[in-house]
Amino acid sequence: MAEKFHFQPTPLTRLRKHYDVIVIGSGAAGMTAAIQAHELGLKPVILEKMDKLGGNTNRASSGMNAAETNVQLQHHVVDSYQEFYDETLKGGGGKNNTELLKYFSEHAALAIDWLADHNIILDELTITGGMSKMRTHRPHSLAAIGGFLVTELLKQVQKARIPLFAGLKVTELTTDDAGKVTGVRATTGKQSGPLTADAVVLAAGGFGANQEMLTKYRPDLKGMNTTNQPGATGDGIKLAEALGAKLVDMDQVQVHPTVQQDTPHAYLIGEAVRGEGAILVNKHGDRFVNELDTRKNVTAAIDGLKENGAYLIFDQGIRDRAKAVEFYDSIGLVHTGKSLDDLAGQLGFDAAALKKAVADWNTAVADQNDAAFNRTTGMERDISTAPFFAIHIAPAVHYTMGGIAINHKTEVLNDDGKAIKGLYAAGEIVGGLHGNNRIGGNSIAETVIFGRQAGEQVFNYINQK
């Protein structure tokens, strides 16, 4: 068995006063930006306010979307940038920033290759809601993408000897008289001071764990549970706003339909479970929705039941294809029945209704025709191999589509649409790419695509000064 990797953040005693580029945030966007900048010959540093590294990336489970990849061809999936673009635009209600979306859809395959060049191999495929093709890339082990990616990127950070400081919070972006960013002020809680840099990359994530900000922009979500890690409080957005950065789509907050919330901590049940063939049923045991419609529509259908959620139903065959279920089971989130009758008895379903829902689904899979709900994807597996499983889910705040305005070069823009010199942003902190609904698998893709771009553009900026 492989030895467990353990990353040790850089001791604060080794903090220097100047770096070529300061990257704020240790999620996939921040680490990718720092690695890319380092490989171009710059000296970056990563600052993380939390003790735990990886940010919200750790919570991602399904995979990383990309079109026209070699991996897809190996799986006999012929895809196109245009289809990827069109389906993301449709999924976002046509409200996506098309400049960002064009760059995103045309650079995702290159991001898969870049990861592979760093021995981060995503050679398996699944599908998420709102997509017509298998374009969600994930590791061969079928492990949840987030933890896998954080671990593998940390290995690259360690190998490159990029300093990464934890427990160091940035409180201010500093500028010169011309408004050009010159660095940051940061604090450990005990000591604080300035750090200078030629450029700063904001990769500090969204605000899904900040009840005050959520309530400000979306009063209807007040008090709703969140899948976000505690550090997702929008600090980076506020830092940029203080410099006059434009904010976009701040009221666009995604609620994820399948979150287990019967424990003190909310656990996202990734879309891959449905992508591999799971169905949703109500308290009676009836199926009620196309499970792989967009997150917005599936959430609305669950809310419409007025039953405090719904249940994911799947079998051993699907479980074998969605390895995250092993973790969900280990912490007590999965109900197991040796038969559908047994499962129905445990959960108070009408056994005949549940058996009919499963039988109808199995027929739909056999015929590749879901006449009841017009589902067309994630129909490779039926639900016929005992034991059978159920997970109780309900919608929860998951992702903030709004954030800082950037152009495709990741330059942060002010209200006039002009770039703030020396300031770049990537990842969930950015607004506009996803429109009014993010497609599953696009957030991880965004972090790597625009993280790389930030590293490249910082290099250009510093070298043309």
Q: Which residues are catalytic, by number?
A: 295
Strands (E), 224-291: 247-248, 253-260, 267-268, 279-281
Residues 6+ apart with CB under 8 A from 53: 7, 9, 26, 150, 154, 164, 166
Q: What is the number of other CB atoms lying within 10 angstroms of the CB of residue 339?
A: 13
Task: Give the residue among 240, 227, 295 at the shortest CA–CA distance from 59.
Answer: 227
Tell me the C-alpha distance between 374 and 370, whole Å.
5
Rounded distance, CA 116 to CA 112, Å? 6
Q: Where are the alpha helices (DSSP H) in 311-441?
A: 316-321, 324-330, 340-347, 351-367
> Encoding tokens for residue 191?
């000591």
The end-to-end CA distance of the chain, in Å, is 49
Report how far residue 353's alpha carbon sits from residue 308's, in angstroms, rounded to the nearest whole number: 19
The Cβ of residue 189 has, within 10 Å, a number of other Cβ atoms equal to 9
| DSSP conformation letters of 133-181 | S--EEE-TT---HHHHHHHHHHHHHHHHT--EEES-EEEEEEE-TTS-E
Query: What is the Cα–Cα distance from 39 to 57, expressed in whole angstroms?
Result: 22
What letter would DSSP give residue 226?
B
Peptide bond into 9 cis (omega under 30): no
